[in-house]
Amino acid sequence: MQSTTSRLLAALPLVLIGFVLGQWGSTRWQDGPPSQDLRALSDAFTTIQRSYVDSVSGSRLTEDALRKMTGSLDPFSVYLPPEQLRHIEDVFQGEFEGIGITYERIDGPQGQDTIFVSSVTPGGPSAKAGLRAGDRIVGVGETSAVGWTDETIRSRLMGPKGSTVHVTLRRPTRPEPLQVTITRGTVPMETVAASYMIDGRTGYVRLTRFARTTHEELRRALRRLDAHGMERLVFDLRGNAGGLLTMAERVADEFLVEDQLIVTSRSRHSEYAGARYATEEGLFEDRPLILLIDGQSASASEIVAGALQDHDRALLVGQRTFGKGLVQRQYDLPDGSALRLTIARYHTPSGRRVQRPEEEATSHPWAETAAAIDTTAIPDSVRYRTDAGRLVIGGGGIVPDRRVAPLGHPRSSVLDSVQAQGLLRSFARRWIDGRADSLRSVWDGRPDAFVESYELPPSVYRSAVRFVRRERAGSGPAPPADSMDRARVEAYVRGRVGQRLFGPEVALRIRNGSDPVLDATRGAWSEAERRARNYPVRNGRTE
């Protein structure tokens, strides 16, 4: 099976990461007198166990009932079994105990999946044991690891700090297998995926989620960029599905002046309603700022985006965000499972409710961009004003100030189909396998030089097209020669080379080099700089 995503050991479905947690400390299950409804549920449980024709597991009945109950609420109120809950807590804590790799499942012997090591955490347990990106884990202990599911992979490779796991590796260009013993350790799950200088003036930070470590990670990144002469910043929240509400508040606080409203929570329960304000501790309150968002920026990302837009602090570029404006709270149950329930909805400083209506099937034209539209077509119910009096649009999600499509090349649709099948990833992996050792010998220890000057041989694009045509033969129409976006194909392969040699940040830097959304920021700095000069404003006046 072709994998289309990389998996960090202990990683989780994005929809779960996307929760906005109002309070990480959970509320314990409280015993109390059963209501009539609860007694009916208890009686039904007892009757099924006693009278049903076959033996029925009580734990299975309980879990099914809890799933059904939360399933009748909003899509983000859920029941979390114990194992799933432990994985989620690892993500929010920002670390876990394991071996420190990201992996993909790729086609192996007899068509079964093999564990492909796509990156190794620098200084982590696997790096210390000698694992490299590109290795295949084909055995764990005395057992073949070929064909394992993600759940089995996690259960066999993760484990308590200090314990050991013996793995068998296959390494390209080496005919014999390698036997390696890895001592598990605490592995950080960093949320700042990249921080570097785009040019002599412009810093760039990519944030992938909001976990316990996010605020301090961001401050370290900003200080590093300041040391390199940063005058302005691109802050990238694309694909960031959210996380902890407290971290969203602290991130927004780094860009806002003291006492500015960040977010309000509204609920029928007064203890869950309230407002959060910026403090005086921000590191980046007075310089030009562009914020990148897209349709997968959700919950905590939307808190940050909404606050920076409403206070005219940043210029937002990209696409309308997801529209997940719910605050969750965790309620632990006695068996180690938990309920994650919606307790409030959040609103931006101007009053916009970010939660997109569930019944909305398609986007309204006026909800996609605030520019180049007939403002008289926008309903009064979704018209809001920033501190400077600019029109911003509600109705679900955060609408950017400048809408930029992520792709636009006429050949992009063909490439999208190829990538969805995992074919370009397979080509890149095979192309790199035979060249990884020589590439390491040339570029080892020089990631900046690699990003700036490494070029693929001209034949790579033609080889990729031939590979795709061959793999698609007999399973559907093959793309004609020169039918894919060449620049994207080459950027993708270069990125995969960079990841194999140096890790995910270098891969992201290379992809950013041909990113149309990031490219659009070059013509947007005059507006971002004007907002920085006029910030802060109150009631349409600069203070």
Catalytic residue among 310, 312, 387, 515: 310
What's the CA gap between 134 and 499, in Å, rounded? 10
- Is 286 a known active-site residue? no
Angle (CA) 138 142 143, round 5°: 55
Angle (CA) 128 129 130, round 5°: 90
DSSP β-ladder status, 338-347 and 326-332: antiparallel
CB 120 within 8 A of CB 106: no
What's the CA gap between 203 and 71, in Å, rounded? 43
Q: Give Cα separations from 453 to 148, 446, 447, 448, 498 (angstroms).
A: 39, 11, 10, 9, 12
Catalytic residue among 118, 297, 299, 301: 299
Catalytic residue among 113, 324, 387, 401: 324
Residue with tokens 């166990």: 49
CB 367 within 8 A of CB 361: no
DSSP-derived secondary structure letter, 480? P
The span from the first CA to the last CA of the chain, in angstroms, equals 59
DSSP β-ladder status, 164-170 and 136-140: antiparallel
Report the Cα 6 to chain-centroid distance in Å: 12
What's the CA gap between 479 and 325, in Å, rounded? 41
What's the CA gap between 313 and 287, in Å, rounded? 9
Angle (CA) 184 186 189, round 5°: 120
The count of C-alpha atoms lying within 13 angstroms of the C-alpha of 118, restricted to the half-sphere facing its C-beta, is: 22
Please state, as a whole number, how many other Cβ atoms lie within 10 Å of the Cβ of residue 450.
21
Residues in the chain: 543
- Is 161 a known active-site residue? no
Report the Cα 169 to chain-centroid distance in Å: 29
- Is 128 a known active-site residue? no
- 271 three-class SS: helix
Residues annotated as catalytic are 299, 310, 324
